Chains A and B, each alone.
Chain A
Protein backbone atom coordinates (compact mmCIF):
# COMPACT_ATOMS: atom_id res chain seq x y z
CA UNK A 1 0.00 0.00 0.00
CA UNK A 2 1.55 3.29 -1.09
CA UNK A 3 -1.30 5.64 -1.79
CA UNK A 4 -0.43 9.32 -2.32
CA UNK A 5 -3.93 10.29 -1.19
CA UNK A 6 -3.34 8.97 2.34
CA UNK A 7 -3.52 11.48 5.22
CA UNK A 8 -0.22 12.86 6.61
CA UNK A 9 -0.23 10.17 9.29
CA UNK A 10 -2.23 7.02 8.79
CA UNK A 11 -2.25 4.10 11.22
CA UNK A 12 -4.25 0.95 10.75
CA UNK A 13 -4.78 -1.92 13.16
CA UNK A 14 -1.66 -1.20 15.25
CA UNK A 15 -0.82 -3.82 17.86
CA UNK A 16 2.04 -3.87 20.33
CA UNK A 17 2.69 -5.91 23.44
CA UNK A 18 5.51 -6.00 25.98
CA UNK A 19 6.32 -9.20 27.87
CA UNK A 20 2.84 -10.61 27.28
CA UNK A 21 1.10 -7.36 28.24
CA UNK A 22 -0.86 -5.98 25.30
CA UNK A 23 -0.58 -2.20 25.15
CA UNK A 24 -2.06 -1.46 21.72
CA UNK A 25 -4.69 -3.76 20.30
CA UNK A 26 -5.77 -2.58 16.88
CA UNK A 27 -5.33 1.18 17.03
CA UNK A 28 -6.52 3.13 13.99
CA UNK A 29 -5.69 6.80 13.48
CA UNK A 30 -5.56 9.25 10.67
CA UNK A 31 -4.26 12.80 10.96
CA UNK A 32 -4.71 15.19 8.05
CA UNK A 33 -2.19 17.66 6.71
CA UNK A 34 -1.89 20.72 8.99
CA UNK A 35 -4.03 19.17 11.73
CA UNK A 36 -3.06 18.90 15.38
CA UNK A 37 -4.45 15.73 16.90
CA UNK A 38 -4.23 15.10 20.63
CA UNK A 39 -4.13 11.61 22.09
CA UNK A 40 -5.55 11.70 25.59
CA UNK A 41 -5.39 8.86 28.00
CA UNK A 42 -4.35 7.72 31.44
CA UNK A 43 -0.75 6.74 32.17
CA UNK A 44 0.26 3.39 30.73
CA UNK A 45 -2.40 3.28 28.03
CA UNK A 46 0.14 3.28 25.18
CA UNK A 47 0.21 6.95 24.16
CA UNK A 48 4.00 7.21 24.03
CA UNK A 49 4.23 3.74 22.48
CA UNK A 50 2.05 5.00 19.62
CA UNK A 51 4.38 7.93 19.00
CA UNK A 52 7.45 5.71 19.15
CA UNK A 53 5.90 3.35 16.62
CA UNK A 54 5.25 6.29 14.29
CA UNK A 55 8.94 7.28 14.23
CA UNK A 56 10.10 3.66 14.12
CA UNK A 57 11.67 3.60 17.56
CA UNK A 58 9.47 0.61 18.31
CA UNK A 59 8.57 -2.16 15.91
CA UNK A 60 4.81 -2.89 15.94
CA UNK A 61 3.70 -6.50 16.32
CA UNK A 62 0.94 -5.96 13.78
CA UNK A 63 -0.57 -3.20 11.71
CA UNK A 64 0.69 -0.57 9.32
CA UNK A 65 1.82 3.02 9.70
CA UNK A 66 2.19 5.49 6.87
CA UNK A 67 3.81 8.89 7.22
CA UNK A 68 3.40 11.10 4.20
CA UNK A 69 2.31 7.96 2.36
CA UNK A 70 5.60 6.20 3.12
CA UNK A 71 5.36 2.97 5.12
CA UNK A 72 7.16 3.05 8.47
CA UNK A 73 9.46 0.08 8.81
CA UNK A 74 12.30 0.42 11.34
CA UNK A 75 14.22 -2.31 9.53
CA UNK A 76 14.31 -0.35 6.28
CA UNK A 77 16.99 2.12 7.39
CA UNK A 78 16.97 4.24 4.25
CA UNK A 79 13.21 4.91 4.25
CA UNK A 80 12.93 5.35 8.00
CA UNK A 81 15.77 7.87 7.98
CA UNK A 82 14.05 9.78 5.17
CA UNK A 83 10.79 9.78 7.16
CA UNK A 84 12.58 10.86 10.35
CA UNK A 85 14.19 13.83 8.61
CA UNK A 86 10.69 15.24 8.13
CA UNK A 87 9.64 14.71 11.75
CA UNK A 88 10.38 16.74 14.86
CA UNK A 89 10.01 14.89 18.16
CA UNK A 90 9.62 16.46 21.58
CA UNK A 91 10.53 13.89 24.21
CA UNK A 92 8.82 13.76 27.57
CA UNK A 93 12.00 14.68 29.46
CA UNK A 94 13.35 16.95 26.72
CA UNK A 95 16.22 14.54 25.94
CA UNK A 96 18.64 17.41 25.34
CA UNK A 97 22.16 16.11 24.70
CA UNK A 98 23.78 16.90 28.01
CA UNK A 99 27.32 17.06 26.65
CA UNK A 100 26.33 19.95 24.36
CA UNK A 101 25.26 23.53 25.05
CA UNK A 102 21.72 24.62 24.14
CA UNK A 103 23.07 26.20 20.95
CA UNK A 104 24.90 23.00 19.97
CA UNK A 105 21.79 20.95 20.70
CA UNK A 106 19.97 23.01 18.09
CA UNK A 107 22.70 23.29 15.47
CA UNK A 108 23.81 19.64 15.74
CA UNK A 109 20.98 18.13 13.67
CA UNK A 110 20.90 21.03 11.27
CA UNK A 111 24.57 20.83 10.40
CA UNK A 112 24.55 17.07 9.98
CA UNK A 113 21.68 16.88 7.56
CA UNK A 114 21.92 20.16 5.72
CA UNK A 115 25.01 21.60 4.22
CA UNK A 116 24.81 24.95 5.94
CA UNK A 117 27.56 27.08 7.43
CA UNK A 118 28.07 27.38 11.16
CA UNK A 119 27.02 31.05 10.98
CA UNK A 120 23.74 30.17 9.29
CA UNK A 121 23.11 27.39 11.81
CA UNK A 122 23.81 29.77 14.70
CA UNK A 123 21.50 32.36 13.20
CA UNK A 124 18.70 29.80 12.95
CA UNK A 125 19.33 28.58 16.49
CA UNK A 126 19.13 32.16 17.73
CA UNK A 127 15.87 32.69 15.84
CA UNK A 128 14.19 29.59 17.28
CA UNK A 129 15.49 30.19 20.79
CA UNK A 130 14.13 33.72 20.61
CA UNK A 131 10.75 32.30 19.55
CA UNK A 132 10.66 30.08 22.63
CA UNK A 133 11.96 32.87 24.88
CA UNK A 134 15.40 31.44 25.51
CA UNK A 135 17.61 33.85 23.59
CA UNK A 136 19.72 34.49 26.67
CA UNK A 137 20.30 30.80 27.45
CA UNK A 138 22.02 29.86 24.19
CA UNK A 139 25.36 29.03 25.71
CA UNK A 140 24.04 27.35 28.83
CA UNK A 141 24.42 23.61 29.36
CA UNK A 142 21.21 21.54 29.78
CA UNK A 143 22.11 20.92 33.43
CA UNK A 144 21.84 24.68 34.05
CA UNK A 145 18.25 24.87 32.77
CA UNK A 146 15.02 24.56 34.75
CA UNK A 147 12.35 22.03 33.70
CA UNK A 148 10.39 24.65 31.77
CA UNK A 149 13.52 25.99 30.07
CA UNK A 150 14.54 22.45 29.05
CA UNK A 151 11.12 21.87 27.49
CA UNK A 152 11.39 25.17 25.60
CA UNK A 153 14.89 24.32 24.37
CA UNK A 154 13.71 20.85 23.34
CA UNK A 155 10.77 22.43 21.53
CA UNK A 156 13.14 24.74 19.65
CA UNK A 157 15.29 21.73 18.78
CA UNK A 158 12.28 19.81 17.49
CA UNK A 159 11.27 22.72 15.27
CA UNK A 160 14.60 24.07 14.00
CA UNK A 161 14.80 21.60 11.11
CA UNK A 162 11.39 22.92 10.01
CA UNK A 163 9.75 19.50 9.98
CA UNK A 164 6.43 18.89 8.30
CA UNK A 165 5.29 16.75 11.22
CA UNK A 166 5.91 17.25 14.93
CA UNK A 167 5.22 14.66 17.61
CA UNK A 168 4.95 15.81 21.21
CA UNK A 169 5.28 13.32 24.04
CA UNK A 170 3.73 14.83 27.17
CA UNK A 171 4.89 18.40 26.48
CA UNK A 172 3.62 19.74 29.82
CA UNK A 173 4.33 16.87 32.20
CA UNK A 174 6.26 17.90 35.29
CA UNK A 175 5.68 21.60 34.75
CA UNK A 176 3.77 24.00 36.97
CA UNK A 177 0.32 25.10 35.65
CA UNK A 178 1.55 28.52 34.49
CA UNK A 179 4.51 27.12 32.54
CA UNK A 180 2.25 24.37 31.15
CA UNK A 181 -0.10 26.96 29.69
CA UNK A 182 2.87 28.94 28.33
CA UNK A 183 4.31 25.86 26.61
CA UNK A 184 0.89 24.88 25.24
CA UNK A 185 0.37 28.39 23.82
CA UNK A 186 3.86 28.30 22.37
CA UNK A 187 3.08 25.02 20.59
CA UNK A 188 -0.16 26.46 19.28
CA UNK A 189 1.59 29.63 18.01
CA UNK A 190 4.30 27.55 16.35
CA UNK A 191 1.67 25.49 14.56
CA UNK A 192 -0.05 28.60 13.30
CA UNK A 193 3.24 30.04 12.07
CA UNK A 194 4.83 26.91 10.65
CA UNK A 195 1.69 25.06 9.49
CA UNK A 196 2.84 21.68 10.72
CA UNK A 197 0.92 18.46 11.20
CA UNK A 198 1.18 17.34 14.81
CA UNK A 199 0.25 14.66 17.28
CA UNK A 200 0.30 15.67 20.93
CA UNK A 201 0.24 12.96 23.56
CA UNK A 202 -0.92 14.20 26.93
CA UNK A 203 -3.20 13.67 29.88
CA UNK A 204 -3.37 17.41 30.40
CA UNK A 205 -6.80 18.48 29.08
CA UNK A 206 -5.91 22.14 29.40
CA UNK A 207 -2.95 21.64 27.08
CA UNK A 208 -5.16 19.65 24.70
CA UNK A 209 -7.74 22.43 24.66
CA UNK A 210 -5.10 24.99 23.67
CA UNK A 211 -3.26 23.02 20.99
CA UNK A 212 -5.63 20.60 19.31
CA UNK A 213 -8.05 20.66 16.41
CA UNK A 214 -9.20 17.15 17.19
CA UNK A 215 -8.54 14.61 19.92
CA UNK A 216 -9.03 10.98 20.78
CA UNK A 217 -9.15 9.02 24.01
CA UNK A 218 -6.85 6.01 24.11
CA UNK A 219 -8.23 3.24 26.27
CA UNK A 220 -7.86 -0.52 26.10
CA UNK A 221 -5.29 -0.25 23.34
CA UNK A 222 -7.59 1.55 20.88
CA UNK A 223 -8.80 5.09 20.30
CA UNK A 224 -12.15 4.70 21.98
CA UNK A 225 -13.56 8.10 21.02
CA UNK A 226 -12.37 10.75 18.60
CA UNK A 227 -13.72 14.21 17.85
CA UNK A 228 -13.34 17.81 18.96
CA UNK A 229 -12.78 18.38 22.67
CA UNK A 230 -16.37 19.60 23.03
CA UNK A 231 -17.63 16.38 21.45
CA UNK A 232 -15.44 14.30 23.77
CA UNK A 233 -16.62 16.26 26.81
CA UNK A 234 -20.17 15.28 25.92
CA UNK A 235 -19.41 11.55 25.71
CA UNK A 236 -21.42 9.48 28.15
CA UNK A 237 -18.59 7.37 29.51
CA UNK A 238 -17.50 7.69 33.17
CA UNK A 239 -13.79 7.30 32.26
CA UNK A 240 -13.86 10.09 29.69
CA UNK A 241 -16.14 12.29 31.76
CA UNK A 242 -13.88 11.80 34.79
CA UNK A 243 -11.00 12.98 32.72
CA UNK A 244 -12.70 16.25 31.92
CA UNK A 245 -14.06 16.73 35.45
CA UNK A 246 -10.59 16.33 36.96
CA UNK A 247 -9.20 18.94 34.62
CA UNK A 248 -11.67 21.73 35.07
Chain B
Protein backbone atom coordinates (compact mmCIF):
# COMPACT_ATOMS: atom_id res chain seq x y z
CA UNK B 1 0.00 0.00 0.00
CA UNK B 2 2.87 2.35 0.90
CA UNK B 3 4.46 1.60 -2.47
CA UNK B 4 1.16 2.44 -4.21
CA UNK B 5 0.97 5.88 -2.59
CA UNK B 6 4.67 6.48 -3.28
CA UNK B 7 3.97 5.71 -6.95
CA UNK B 8 1.03 8.11 -6.98
CA UNK B 9 3.17 10.83 -5.38
CA UNK B 10 6.03 10.28 -7.83
CA UNK B 11 3.68 10.15 -10.80
CA UNK B 12 2.03 13.39 -9.70
CA UNK B 13 5.36 15.20 -9.28
CA UNK B 14 6.54 13.82 -12.63
CA UNK B 15 3.37 14.98 -14.40
CA UNK B 16 3.23 18.41 -12.78
CA UNK B 17 6.83 19.09 -13.79
CA UNK B 18 5.42 19.55 -17.32
CA UNK B 19 3.94 22.94 -16.38
CA UNK B 20 7.27 24.11 -14.99
CA UNK B 21 9.25 22.97 -18.04
CA UNK B 22 6.79 23.97 -20.79
CA UNK B 23 7.62 27.70 -20.93
CA UNK B 24 11.40 27.13 -20.79
CA UNK B 25 13.58 26.97 -23.92
CA UNK B 26 14.73 25.10 -25.92
CA UNK B 27 11.34 24.48 -27.53
CA UNK B 28 11.24 21.09 -29.17
CA UNK B 29 8.98 22.13 -32.07
CA UNK B 30 10.15 19.32 -34.34
CA UNK B 31 9.50 16.70 -31.68
CA UNK B 32 6.11 18.25 -30.91
CA UNK B 33 5.02 18.00 -34.56
CA UNK B 34 6.28 14.40 -34.71
CA UNK B 35 4.26 13.44 -31.65
CA UNK B 36 1.11 15.27 -32.78
CA UNK B 37 1.38 13.13 -35.89
CA UNK B 38 1.83 9.96 -33.86
CA UNK B 39 -0.82 10.83 -31.30
CA UNK B 40 -3.33 12.36 -33.68
CA UNK B 41 -2.91 11.44 -37.32
CA UNK B 42 -1.99 7.81 -36.71
CA UNK B 43 -4.98 7.42 -34.39
CA UNK B 44 -7.37 8.66 -37.09
CA UNK B 45 -8.24 5.26 -38.63
CA UNK B 46 -8.94 3.68 -35.24
CA UNK B 47 -10.92 6.68 -34.00
CA UNK B 48 -12.90 6.75 -37.26
CA UNK B 49 -14.03 3.16 -36.87
CA UNK B 50 -14.80 3.59 -33.17
CA UNK B 51 -16.69 6.85 -33.82
CA UNK B 52 -18.99 5.37 -36.46
CA UNK B 53 -19.57 2.18 -34.45
CA UNK B 54 -20.38 4.22 -31.35
CA UNK B 55 -23.11 6.13 -33.24
CA UNK B 56 -24.50 3.00 -34.89
CA UNK B 57 -24.68 1.03 -31.64
CA UNK B 58 -26.15 3.90 -29.67
CA UNK B 59 -28.89 4.51 -32.24
CA UNK B 60 -29.64 0.77 -32.65
CA UNK B 61 -29.90 0.30 -28.89
CA UNK B 62 -32.04 3.32 -28.07
CA UNK B 63 -34.33 3.54 -31.08
CA UNK B 64 -36.61 0.61 -30.04
CA UNK B 65 -36.99 2.03 -26.52
CA UNK B 66 -37.78 5.51 -27.82
CA UNK B 67 -40.29 4.00 -30.29
CA UNK B 68 -42.06 2.25 -27.43
CA UNK B 69 -42.79 5.68 -25.91
CA UNK B 70 -43.48 7.32 -29.26
CA UNK B 71 -40.41 9.46 -28.77
CA UNK B 72 -38.24 8.43 -31.76
CA UNK B 73 -38.04 12.09 -32.85
CA UNK B 74 -35.81 12.63 -29.79
CA UNK B 75 -33.21 10.22 -31.16
CA UNK B 76 -30.95 12.89 -32.77
CA UNK B 77 -30.94 14.97 -29.59
CA UNK B 78 -30.37 11.93 -27.39
CA UNK B 79 -27.46 10.71 -29.51
CA UNK B 80 -25.91 14.18 -29.81
CA UNK B 81 -26.07 14.94 -26.08
CA UNK B 82 -24.83 11.48 -25.01
CA UNK B 83 -21.98 11.51 -27.48
CA UNK B 84 -20.82 15.10 -26.99
CA UNK B 85 -21.09 15.13 -23.22
CA UNK B 86 -19.90 11.69 -22.29
CA UNK B 87 -19.43 8.83 -24.72
CA UNK B 88 -17.29 10.63 -27.30
CA UNK B 89 -14.69 12.03 -24.87
CA UNK B 90 -14.44 8.92 -22.68
CA UNK B 91 -14.46 6.23 -25.36
CA UNK B 92 -12.05 8.16 -27.59
CA UNK B 93 -9.72 8.72 -24.63
CA UNK B 94 -9.82 5.04 -23.62
CA UNK B 95 -9.17 3.84 -27.16
CA UNK B 96 -6.34 6.34 -27.68
CA UNK B 97 -4.91 5.42 -24.26
CA UNK B 98 -4.74 1.79 -25.42
CA UNK B 99 -2.85 2.77 -28.55
CA UNK B 100 -0.74 5.73 -27.52
CA UNK B 101 -0.09 5.43 -23.78
CA UNK B 102 1.22 1.89 -24.14
CA UNK B 103 3.31 2.99 -27.12
CA UNK B 104 4.85 5.85 -25.17
CA UNK B 105 5.50 3.56 -22.18
CA UNK B 106 7.21 0.97 -24.38
CA UNK B 107 9.19 3.50 -26.43
CA UNK B 108 10.56 5.49 -23.51
CA UNK B 109 10.98 2.27 -21.51
CA UNK B 110 13.16 0.73 -24.19
CA UNK B 111 15.15 3.97 -24.33
CA UNK B 112 15.71 3.61 -20.58
CA UNK B 113 16.88 -0.01 -20.71
CA UNK B 114 19.18 0.60 -23.68
CA UNK B 115 20.76 3.63 -21.94
CA UNK B 116 19.50 6.10 -24.58
CA UNK B 117 18.07 8.31 -21.83
CA UNK B 118 21.45 8.33 -20.08
CA UNK B 119 23.04 9.14 -23.46
CA UNK B 120 20.80 12.22 -23.68
CA UNK B 121 21.78 13.26 -20.16
CA UNK B 122 25.47 12.83 -20.88
CA UNK B 123 24.98 15.06 -23.93
CA UNK B 124 23.63 17.81 -21.63
CA UNK B 125 20.11 17.32 -23.00
CA UNK B 126 17.37 17.19 -20.38
CA UNK B 127 15.50 13.97 -21.22
CA UNK B 128 12.32 15.25 -19.59
CA UNK B 129 12.25 18.33 -21.80
CA UNK B 130 13.19 16.39 -24.91
CA UNK B 131 11.06 13.27 -24.46
CA UNK B 132 8.19 14.13 -22.14
CA UNK B 133 7.22 17.79 -22.69
CA UNK B 134 6.57 17.46 -26.46
CA UNK B 135 4.58 14.25 -25.93
CA UNK B 136 2.31 15.74 -23.27
CA UNK B 137 1.83 18.93 -25.31
CA UNK B 138 0.94 16.80 -28.33
CA UNK B 139 -1.56 14.82 -26.23
CA UNK B 140 -3.23 17.99 -24.98
CA UNK B 141 -3.63 19.31 -28.53
CA UNK B 142 -4.45 16.10 -30.37
CA UNK B 143 -7.05 14.47 -28.13
CA UNK B 144 -9.66 17.27 -28.26
CA UNK B 145 -9.39 17.27 -32.07
CA UNK B 146 -9.74 13.49 -32.21
CA UNK B 147 -12.73 13.65 -29.86
CA UNK B 148 -14.50 16.32 -31.94
CA UNK B 149 -13.92 14.15 -35.00
CA UNK B 150 -15.20 11.02 -33.24
CA UNK B 151 -18.28 12.94 -32.02
CA UNK B 152 -19.07 14.02 -35.56
CA UNK B 153 -18.68 10.49 -36.92
CA UNK B 154 -20.89 9.09 -34.17
CA UNK B 155 -23.65 11.53 -35.03
CA UNK B 156 -23.32 10.58 -38.70
CA UNK B 157 -23.33 6.87 -37.74
CA UNK B 158 -26.52 7.34 -35.75
CA UNK B 159 -28.06 9.12 -38.74
CA UNK B 160 -27.43 6.03 -40.87
CA UNK B 161 -29.63 3.99 -38.49
CA UNK B 162 -32.30 6.71 -38.40
CA UNK B 163 -32.28 6.98 -42.19
CA UNK B 164 -32.56 3.24 -42.76
CA UNK B 165 -35.32 2.85 -40.16
CA UNK B 166 -37.46 5.87 -40.88
CA UNK B 167 -36.07 7.77 -43.83
CA UNK B 168 -35.53 11.03 -41.89
CA UNK B 169 -33.81 13.67 -44.02
CA UNK B 170 -30.28 14.80 -43.19
CA UNK B 171 -31.46 18.44 -42.89
CA UNK B 172 -34.07 17.54 -40.28
CA UNK B 173 -31.67 15.28 -38.41
CA UNK B 174 -28.86 17.86 -38.44
CA UNK B 175 -31.07 20.74 -37.32
CA UNK B 176 -32.42 18.57 -34.52
CA UNK B 177 -28.84 17.76 -33.42
CA UNK B 178 -27.73 21.40 -33.55
CA UNK B 179 -30.77 22.75 -31.72
CA UNK B 180 -30.43 20.16 -28.96
CA UNK B 181 -26.79 20.94 -28.14
CA UNK B 182 -25.99 23.79 -25.77
CA UNK B 183 -22.77 25.30 -24.44
CA UNK B 184 -23.35 23.27 -21.28
CA UNK B 185 -23.00 20.10 -23.39
CA UNK B 186 -20.10 21.11 -25.62
CA UNK B 187 -17.78 22.93 -23.20
CA UNK B 188 -17.54 20.32 -20.40
CA UNK B 189 -17.36 17.53 -23.00
CA UNK B 190 -14.41 19.10 -24.81
CA UNK B 191 -12.71 20.63 -21.77
CA UNK B 192 -12.09 17.27 -20.15
CA UNK B 193 -10.42 15.92 -23.29
CA UNK B 194 -7.51 18.31 -22.71
CA UNK B 195 -7.01 16.64 -19.32
CA UNK B 196 -7.43 13.16 -20.82
CA UNK B 197 -4.76 13.95 -23.45
CA UNK B 198 -2.46 15.13 -20.68
CA UNK B 199 -3.09 11.96 -18.64
CA UNK B 200 -2.48 9.61 -21.57
CA UNK B 201 0.92 11.11 -22.43
CA UNK B 202 2.05 11.81 -18.85
CA UNK B 203 1.24 8.31 -17.55
CA UNK B 204 2.93 6.57 -20.51
CA UNK B 205 6.00 8.77 -20.10
CA UNK B 206 6.16 8.16 -16.35
CA UNK B 207 6.10 4.38 -16.62
CA UNK B 208 8.55 4.43 -19.53
CA UNK B 209 10.94 6.67 -17.63
CA UNK B 210 10.89 4.32 -14.65
CA UNK B 211 11.31 1.11 -16.62
CA UNK B 212 14.44 0.00 -14.79
CA UNK B 213 15.30 -3.68 -14.86
CA UNK B 214 15.73 -5.08 -18.36
CA UNK B 215 13.41 -5.87 -21.20
CA UNK B 216 10.60 -7.29 -19.04
CA UNK B 217 10.22 -3.84 -17.50
CA UNK B 218 9.39 -2.47 -20.97
CA UNK B 219 6.39 -4.80 -21.25
CA UNK B 220 5.38 -3.94 -17.71
CA UNK B 221 5.66 -0.21 -18.48
CA UNK B 222 3.41 -0.59 -21.54
CA UNK B 223 0.76 -2.54 -19.60
CA UNK B 224 0.87 -0.27 -16.55
CA UNK B 225 0.55 2.77 -18.80
CA UNK B 226 -2.74 1.58 -20.31
CA UNK B 227 -4.19 0.36 -17.01
CA UNK B 228 -3.31 3.51 -15.06
CA UNK B 229 -4.24 5.91 -17.86
CA UNK B 230 -7.67 4.21 -18.29
CA UNK B 231 -8.26 4.25 -14.54
CA UNK B 232 -7.30 7.93 -14.25
CA UNK B 233 -9.43 8.86 -17.27
CA UNK B 234 -12.51 7.34 -15.61
CA UNK B 235 -11.78 8.94 -12.22
CA UNK B 236 -11.18 12.32 -13.90
CA UNK B 237 -14.39 11.91 -15.87
CA UNK B 238 -16.32 11.32 -12.66
CA UNK B 239 -14.92 14.53 -11.19
CA UNK B 240 -15.42 16.46 -14.44
CA UNK B 241 -19.09 15.45 -14.57
CA UNK B 242 -19.59 16.69 -11.03
CA UNK B 243 -17.77 19.97 -11.74
CA UNK B 244 -19.70 20.41 -15.02
CA UNK B 245 -23.01 20.01 -13.20
CA UNK B 246 -21.95 22.51 -10.56
CA UNK B 247 -20.88 25.10 -13.12
CA UNK B 248 -23.47 24.74 -15.86
CA UNK B 249 -26.63 23.58 -14.12
Contact = CB atoms under 8 A, between A and B. Distances in A.
Interface of A: 52, 55, 57, 81, 84-85, 87, 89, 91-93, 95-98, 108-109, 112-113
A112 B125 contact: yes
A97 B124 contact: no
A89 B119 contact: yes
A84 B124 CA distance: 6
A55 B116 CA distance: 15
Nearest to B126: A77
A55 B122 contact: yes
B189 to A, nearest CB: 34
Closest 7 pairs between A and B when the two form their complex, measured CB to CB: A95-B119, A95-B115, A81-B124, A89-B122, A84-B124, A109-B123, A91-B115
B185 interface: no
Interface residues of B, number: 14
B122 A97 contact: no
B118 A91 contact: yes
A210 to B, nearest CB: 24
Contacts of A84: 121-124
B114 interface: yes
In the complex, which of the residues B111, B118, B124 has the most CB atoms of chain A within 10 Å of its own CB atom? Answer: B124
B108 to A, nearest CB: 11
A57 B122 contact: yes
A106 to B, nearest CB: 11
Nearest to A157: B119
A162 to B, nearest CB: 14
Interface of B: 26, 110-111, 114-116, 118-125
A95 B124 contact: no
Nearest to A81: B124
A245 B26 CA distance: 52
A93 B111 CA distance: 12
B118 A95 contact: yes
A143 to B, nearest CB: 11
A95 B113 CA distance: 9
A112 B123 CA distance: 9
In the complex, which of the residues B26, B120, B122, B125 has the most CB atoms of chain A within 10 Å of its own CB atom? Answer: B122
23 contacts: A55-B121, A55-B122, A57-B122, A84-B121, A84-B122, A84-B124, A85-B124, A89-B119, A93-B114, A93-B115, A95-B114, A95-B115, A95-B116, A95-B118, A96-B116, A97-B111, A97-B120, A98-B110, A98-B111, A98-B116, A109-B123, A112-B26, A113-B123
Contacts of B114: 93, 95, 98
Contacts of B119: 89, 91, 95, 97
Contacts of A108: 123
A87 B118 CA distance: 13
B124 A57 contact: no
Contacts of B124: 81, 84-85, 113
Contacts of B118: 52, 57, 91, 95
A91 B119 CA distance: 8
A81 B125 CA distance: 8
A87 B116 contact: no
B20 to A, nearest CB: 13
A81 B119 CA distance: 13
B116 A92 contact: no
B94 to A, nearest CB: 27
B90 to A, nearest CB: 31
Contacts of A55: 121-122
Contacts of A57: 118, 121-122
Given A84-B124, A108-B123, 6 more contacts: A52-B118, A55-B122, A87-B122, A93-B115, A95-B116, A98-B110
Nearest to B125: A112
Contacts of A81: 124
A232 to B, nearest CB: 29
A113 B122 CA distance: 13
Contacts of B121: 55, 57, 84
A91 B122 CA distance: 10
Contacts of B115: 91-93, 95
A248 B116 CA distance: 34
A219 B115 CA distance: 25
Contacts of A109: 123, 125
A85 B115 CA distance: 18
A55 B114 CA distance: 18
Contacts of B122: 55, 57, 84, 87, 89
A52 to B, nearest CB: 8
